[in-house]
Amino acid sequence: MDTTLLVTLAACAALVAVLVVVLVGLLVRTGSARRRLDAELASSRDDLAALHRRLDALAAADRRPDQDGRPAQQPGAAAGFTITSLVEDGAASPAPVPAVTGARVVSVAVGESVVRLLSIGHGVRRALSPESRDRIRLEVRREVRRARRRRRDELKDARRLLRAQRAGTAEDAA
């Protein structure tokens, strides 16, 4: 066989092998991400079911009658302010709001600067694209032609006015 044919076949085989390895890696990564997302979804559904059970229990407690046999709250009675919470006594309190530190401020400031820089970079890249350059070149050419035509018309008007003035002074002298 020809050596160039063997080299070409070997290169194609190597390329196919690399593509297979990359494809298998992507499939493994996608599968692990899918399993992680499924686990998070199951956890979220369990949390939602627990909240539904607590809400149903609280609603049932509100509908239970008092010792008098009346409902806990009269429909027409003036309702006062009631402080309620989904956190039961003895349960962990809500997570505190994180403190604003210098590192967070710097992180936000740098993040905003990076966003601005990226948006400016995108604008410059778009402005320097071939389509934009062609459009700008066309507009400049059109404006130059318009300016030339305007100057030419002004020059004709000035010459016409000068001739009219000379003809007027020549008639006055005669």
Question: Is residue 131 situated within a structural domain?
Answer: yes
**19 band by pLDDT with thresholds 50, 70 and 90:** very high
Question: Is residue 128 situated within a structural domain?
Answer: yes
Give the side-chain half-sphere CA count within 13 A for 106. 3
Question: Is residue 33 situated within a structural domain?
Answer: no
**Closest Cα partner for 50 from 88, 97, 96, 90?**
88
Distances (CA, A) of 79 to 36, 61, 68, 87, 131: 47, 17, 19, 22, 68
Query: How high is the pLDDT of residue 88?
Result: 60
| Distance, CA of 126 to CA of 114 (rounded, Å) | 18
What sign for the dihedral angle of Cα 85, 89, 92, 98? positive
Beta bridge partners of 65: 71
What are the pLDDT digits (tens) for 115-170?
888 999 999 999 889 999 999 999 999 999 999 999 999 999 999 999 999 988 87
Question: Is residue 80 situated within a structural domain?
Answer: no
Is residue 13 scored above 50 in pLDDT? Answer: yes
Query: How high is the pLDDT of residue 76?
Result: 46
How many separate domains does the chain show? 1
Question: Is residue 164 situated within a structural domain?
Answer: yes
Question: Is residue 154 situated within a structural domain?
Answer: yes
| Distance, CA of 110 to CA of 117 (rounded, Å) | 10
> Whose structure tokens read 């990226």?
118
What are the pLDDT digits (tens) for 54-103?
888 888 877 766 666 655 555 545 556 676 666 665 555 667 777 888 88
Question: Is residue 167 situated within a structural domain?
Answer: yes
Query: How high is the pLDDT of residue 162?
Result: 94
> Whose structure tokens read 């003895």?
90
Domain that holds residue 140: 111-174
Question: Is residue 155 situated within a structural domain?
Answer: yes
Residue type, 85: S
